[in-house]
């Protein structure tokens, strides 16, 4: 929150007053980690050595149930950085860009649009006076929306092997006895430390990113990080040998990313020995990146900047380490969609945990609110600041993601995914947290499936409306008109089959109408003799007393409306005696 000078009573009402000295906005350290699943000590995974990310979690707020929008890096990052959900046309594949449309070189059917007409995070913060740094991997492409960045430095290639023999073999892992800065990860960390020192002396707030490429394949890290783990003690996931029961083929991944590396079979499973080596390498890379994050935290502390810096750590998606007999990401399983998120912001309580569902699309509005900036109007996420103030609050009841032709929705207890051609899966996380049994066709879950499908449809409609689709089109798709049992009826067979001159008459017509959506219905008299009025629009009640001049057959036109579709009319014939 932007505050320069406050009376004492206002200080009591504010969560924090920035103690910034030469500039009036907080610095931001924006840490992105590629392929990082919540395989961390602070997420309760004891086998992982991650003392510095654990330390960051103790400094701030950890989100137990943070999910990405797309389980591939390009699309996930474009969604997060733009504050927009992906759609069937936007941010669909790993080569997605924010600033322009993209098409796969290998398959022209794989393409998507960007969102160049709105400001992304660095653009917005730059407009608000920040100096913006793209260090390491933030977008999939280093030059994506390059005008929004004051400094861009990708710092090397993610396949930067240290052992010369590996440069031709292209293995999926390497453990070289080298210093941290023998790899791009260490070199980048050295540069960011220097930028932190510049920020300390600057009159301008810094939006400083740190995009770590590890644990992305290949799993290469200095030997000392491999040595943190006992290779023989590493265990496979319990579902390493099987795909979820009843899960559709659409949910599978061929893990082509891993198969592109030397020594990995082009089809079928990897050997158990290679599987253990891959898990070992992944954990070593996590610990390597963790150590570099620790250096950044140490520098902020040394520069006495922790009280003036917002720190956000996020993963761009999860990663399968043999789970469901799969590797890499590219699925709608929890193992691909679930990622870590930690926020440390001055003025808020430390060592907090939020159980409520959150999405990475929520990060953009959160940063704006924490920095005291206005929110651009295009944002589709929801600020997480209320959860920093009250970690027990419910942030969202449902969150959404997609990948190619598949869409998914997650609630507190269920994950439901459906593909364009009809394949679907539902997992009951109360009974099956690892998603081993697809219960979408179990009749006991029929109402759950219906409710989850409706959540997805509501989400689609909301995105369509945000993109300019007329609301009338959505209504036509969503709702059918009420139906009369007969559009030409008389009252014979009812309790009052006719009306009598000089005597009060009462009847109802609501029982003659059905409505598929069970909407609230309203009735009206359109035409007919004046003696009979429709006196209750909700129940279709008719009241009146005919006179001698009304003898004979009287015809009335009655309409029914659900408030969405045009009124539907029927003719009622009533004899007066």
Q: Which DSSP symbol is given to 148? A: G
CA 558 to mean position of chain CA atoms = 47
Give me the DSSP letters along 120-134. Answer: -HHHHHHHTT-EEEE
| H/E segment holding residue 185 | helix 184-201
From the list 42, 73, 328, 368, the catalytic residue is 73
Q: Is 106 a catalytic residue?
A: no
Which residues are CB-contacts of 492 (< 8 A; sequence separation ≥ 6)? none
Q: Residue 539 class from Cβ within 10 Å (0-12 exposed, 13-18 middle, 19+ buried)?
A: middle
Using an 8 Å Cβ cutoff, are 421 and 406 in contact? Answer: no
Q: How far apart are CA 252 and CA 326, in angstroms?
A: 8
Phi and psi angles of residue 541, each rounded to the nearest 5 degrees, phi first: -90, 135
Q: Is 140 a catalytic residue?
A: yes
| H/E segment holding residue 259 | helix 256-259
Among residues 222, 372, 166, 208, which one has the least CA distance to residue 305?
A: 208
Q: How far apart are CA 100 and CA 91, in angstroms?
A: 10
C-beta neighbour count of 198 within 10 angstroms: 13
Which residues are CB-contacts of 30 (< 8 A; sequence separation ≥ 6)? 121, 138, 207, 208, 209, 210, 312
Q: Residue 58 class from Cβ within 10 Å (0-12 exposed, 13-18 middle, 19+ buried)?
A: middle
From the list 140, 280, 317, 395, the catalytic residue is 140
Which residues are CB-contacts of 78 (< 8 A; sequence separation ≥ 6)? 91, 96, 97, 98, 114, 115, 139, 140, 144
- Which residues does the annotation mark as catalytic? 73, 140
């Amino acid at each position: 929150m932007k505050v320069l000078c406050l009376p004492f009573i206002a200080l009591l009402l504010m969560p924090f007053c920035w103690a910034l000295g030469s500039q009036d906005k907080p610095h931001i350290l924006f840490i992105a980690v590629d392929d990082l699943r919540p395989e961390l000590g602070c997420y309760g995974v004891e086998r992982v050595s991650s003392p510095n990310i654990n330390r960051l979690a103790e400094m701030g707020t950890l989100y137990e149930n943070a999910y990405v929008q797309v389980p591939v890096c390009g699309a996930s990052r474009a969604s997060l950085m733009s504050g927009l959900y992906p759609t069937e046309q936007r941010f669909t594949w790993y080569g997605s860009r924010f600033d322009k449309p993209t098409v796969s070189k290998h398959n022209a059917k794989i393409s998507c649009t960007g969102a160049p007409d709105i400001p992304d995070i660095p653009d917005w913060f730059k407009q608000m006076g920040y100096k913006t740094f793209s260090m390491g991997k933030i977008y999939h492409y280093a030059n994506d929306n390059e005008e929004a960045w004051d400094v861009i430095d990708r710092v090397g290639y993610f396949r930067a092997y240290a052992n010369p023999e590996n440069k031709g073999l292209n293995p999926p892992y390497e453990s070289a006895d080298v210093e941290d800065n023998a790899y791009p990860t260490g070199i980048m960390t050295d540069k960011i430390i220097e930028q932190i020192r510049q920020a300390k002396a600057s009159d301008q707030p810094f939006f400083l990113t740190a995009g770590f490429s590890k644990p992305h394949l290949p799993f290469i890290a200095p030997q000392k990080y491999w040595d943190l783990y006992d290779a023989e003690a590493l265990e496979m996931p319990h579902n390493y040998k099987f795909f979820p029961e009843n899960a559709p083929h659409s949910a599978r991944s061929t893990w082509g990313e891993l198969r592109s590396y030397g020594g990995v079979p082009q089809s079928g499973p990897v050997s158990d020995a290679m599987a253990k080596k891959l898990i070992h390498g992944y954990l070593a890379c996590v610990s390597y990146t963790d150590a570099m994050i620790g250096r950044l935290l140490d520098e902020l502390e040394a520069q006495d900047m922790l009280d003036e810096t917002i720190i956000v750590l996020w993963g761009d998606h999860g990663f399968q380490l043999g789970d469901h007999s799969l590797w890499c990401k590219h699925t709608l399983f929890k193992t691909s969609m679930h990622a870590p998120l930690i926020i440390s912001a001055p003025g808020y309580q430390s060592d907090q945990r939020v159980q409520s569902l959150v999405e990475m699309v929520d990060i953009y509005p959160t940063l704006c609110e924490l920095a005291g900036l206005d929110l651009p109007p295009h944002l589709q996420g929801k600020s997480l600041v209320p959860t920093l103030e009250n970690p027990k609050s419910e942030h969202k009841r449902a969150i959404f993601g997609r990948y190619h032709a598949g869409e998914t929705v997650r609630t507190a207890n269920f994950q439901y995914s459906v593909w364009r051609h009809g394949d679907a899966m539902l997992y009951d996380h109360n009974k099956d947290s690892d998603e081993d049994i697809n219960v979408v066709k179990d009749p006991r879950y029929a109402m759950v499936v219906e409710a989850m499908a409706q959540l997805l449809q509501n989400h689609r409609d909301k995105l369509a409306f945000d993109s300019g689709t007329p609301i009338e089109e959505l209504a036509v798709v969503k709702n059918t008109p009420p139906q009369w049992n007969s559009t030409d009826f008389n009252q014979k067979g009812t309790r009052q089959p006719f009306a009598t001159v000089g005597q009060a008459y009462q009847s109802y017509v609501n029982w003659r109408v059905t409505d598929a959506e069970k909407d609230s219905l309203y009735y009206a008299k359109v035409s007919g003799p004046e003696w009979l009025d429709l006196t209750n629009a909700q129940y279709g009640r008719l009241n009146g007393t005919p006179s001698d001049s009304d003898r004979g057959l009287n015809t009335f036109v009655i309409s029914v409306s659900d408030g969405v579709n045009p009124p539907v009319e029927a003719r009622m014939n009533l004899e007066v005696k």
